Amino acid sequence: MLDLETKKGRVIAATLRLAGECPWSEVGLAEIARAADVSLAELRSKFESKGEILAAFTRAIDDEVLERMPKPEEGQAARDAIFEVVMTRFDVLGAYKPALKSIVQSWSPDATALGALLSSQAWMLRAAGVPAEGLTGQLRVAGLGALYASVFRTWLEDDDPGQAKTMAVLDRRLRRGERMLRSLDDAKSALGSLASIFTSRRRSSEPTEEPAPTDPPPASSAS
């Protein structure tokens, strides 16, 4: 997944290794450069902050998940497809769980890393065959992001190789989210119908423009 032949890949791998060995707050860019065997100048040419390194790691995870996921089956429920995508993501992340525990414990929100995480949710939806574009797509992305964040914490503490607890929590949250999305779709449909009613009423109540009167034909003079 991480191409250790490239300096970028070595930096990401070194960052995660250090995070698994000591608190994330104590991991500095200088330490990362030494662990990756690159100069500070080389590190700076790739990343300006630890947040950018985490964002690159998130995108690498996205790529691996997208490679592993088959095309969604026709007629497959969106809930089931998303379940498979999220569990596949946890499988990919499994090797980095110690580092992720350290990062979560002391991580301060970073705009770059948060942006990559939101983008990641959009790609996970697409992998499940769920549209992520437009206003409704943005709502889905936000909803999946909140769901993923809550299940992610359960996964971090789930030491069962079968991940039974994680799967149970994910399934429960997905069913709850499915009901919320259905309610959202119903509300949108109702609002659309209401808007069309008012639009048609407004049009029917508008005065119709009467045709301009035409001058009567000139009377013929008697000869």
67: in domain: yes
Write down the pTM of the prediction: 0.79
25: in domain: yes
126: in domain: yes
Higher pLDDT, 177 or 94: 94
* DSSP H/E element including 68: helix 50-68
Least confident piece of the model among 68-72, 132-136, 212-216: 212-216
208: in domain: no
Domain that holds residue 35: 7-201
Average pLDDT rounded to a whole number, residues 64-93 = 93
220: in domain: no
Closest CA to 18 of 6, 32, 34: 32
211: in domain: no
Least confident piece of the model among 8-12, 90-94, 151-155, 205-209: 205-209
CATH code for the domain of 136: 1.10.357.10
Structure tokens, 109: 């929100």
Question: Considering the chain, what is the average pLDDT of its residues?
Answer: 85
Q: CA–CA separation, 219 vs 106, rounded Å?
A: 98
Whole-number pLDDT of residue 182: 62
Question: Does residue 98 surpass a pLDDT of 60?
Answer: yes
Q: CA–CA separation, 199 vs 14, rounded Å?
A: 61
How many folded domains does the chain comprise? Answer: 1
2: in domain: no
pLDDT digits (tens, 9 = 90+) for 152-193: 999 999 999 999 999 999 999 999 877 766 655 554 454 444
CB 89 within 8 A of CB 62: no
173: in domain: yes
